[in-house]
Structure 1
């Protein structure tokens, strides 16, 4: 498979993922805070749709935020602030969005009945899902990830489902590619990565995954790599708290740059090009997710520009 195999107008997100076509581009957001007023939520949604309108993206990711203090005993750099349910935000406030939405579900937060109700009413033409397991093995959950996969298979098997993939976890345990294959067997047809700053961790994972797929005679599924800008050392600290590996050289580049946001932007583009080249060489279907979770105006604007540049990169790859 090469990028050139899919030159021309690209199909919708669901078809691209079902057929494991390279070049998927998503844009991800966090829903407004749960305590926001209806007027403020409406305002945020309008601004969001205005920002998204000119972007050449295939879909939107809406994150489901959970308290992950069990993951790390250190003090959280930014306080945990509960947000709106992403499915509710999409259904009630983003009606103007004309492309698919990928709804995250931290399944441990939900009773099995609630999860089944959401699956039963979700429209597979407009909605895809990503199930996220507990942030640690010690966390108390209402529904575990395996049972969540089973519920989806029982209630709504036609709803496209993705899983989370973490390069750092592969570096620690060496078995993330096997987790991916196990999730495939339970119905996952695509994966979205944690934020990528350490390209080496990610390339090791993808390499192991591709060659394990070949040894089993299994087709690899699309992996969508998440890119996120880091405009301050506080943001860098939070990313680390979440378990993202930031290489020392990259931290130094951002820390000592005259414009940390511009340097982060440059590095994000370099990561995207590196991963696109690597995946094309392996015949691995890939895409990118540009994450926008900052509330700083400069970072929001830069993230929108990054999505436009990644879209341009993917168009160039399709024309090769």
Structure 2
């Protein structure tokens, strides 16, 4: 899938990510105090101040998207670092801050920077490019942040698109169901992409630099993985099948479409980070998400959230002409389903704080 289709819906309209990203904001708000606490305890500002000859602290948000959420998170990080300098190094001037906002080249950076707070305590720069790859100079970053990003894969696993593979995902748009080969293909791709992400950040961060991750997860499986359910996306797949039956496109279109997302498990995530060896896990826990933002009380809001996330991918494959009918159908199915009885579905977020131990 071409990079240009990965972006969240841009602009300021009713179907934009800007207007439909309150669940992600809930995750960010749930992590605010933890991030402040960890910066206060773990960020070695004496080492940073001695090694930062220009007196500039650099921060990167990887997968920043277009909405205002990133600015709230960055402000929280800047204030926490500033407070630590004030408290611990009273004779040292608070440094200047440089913030890099990174996302794929297709991200709506125009909308992002139109929303940039006028009164802010940092300089801002956009860095277009895949967060799975290195984007900044060696050892140039002091704090990295990424929220609700790492479940996005660099690509759909090739096996699930191959008619001759045991992992061919006929009739489904993700790895739900009882086909272990499909799940294994997605899990392998996630492991590969996470390792690439960590390797890239390890090169960009200074030795001892910190990285805070907010990762969408599923609960650790109690039994086997053969009965995975992802209700909101299974429902979306069923809507595509319905439209194919109406003759709006050939059923083969559904067979050849898969979403490039994977929701890891806390135990799996921990094991993959430890296998990487570039970072030390300083803290890892499930966030108590803010229900004020996570709850989507009606089918219209929930549909808007899903549309803002996945419409770009769907348009590229099925065409823009069917989008309204697709999401009208989806809204009707959400209303008829039990999905909204559990509004926290797909809202489990694992917080991870990592310290870079690789000497670049």
Instruction: Report the TM-score when normalising by structure 1.
Output: 0.33
Instruction: Report the TM-score when normalising by structure 2.
Output: 0.30
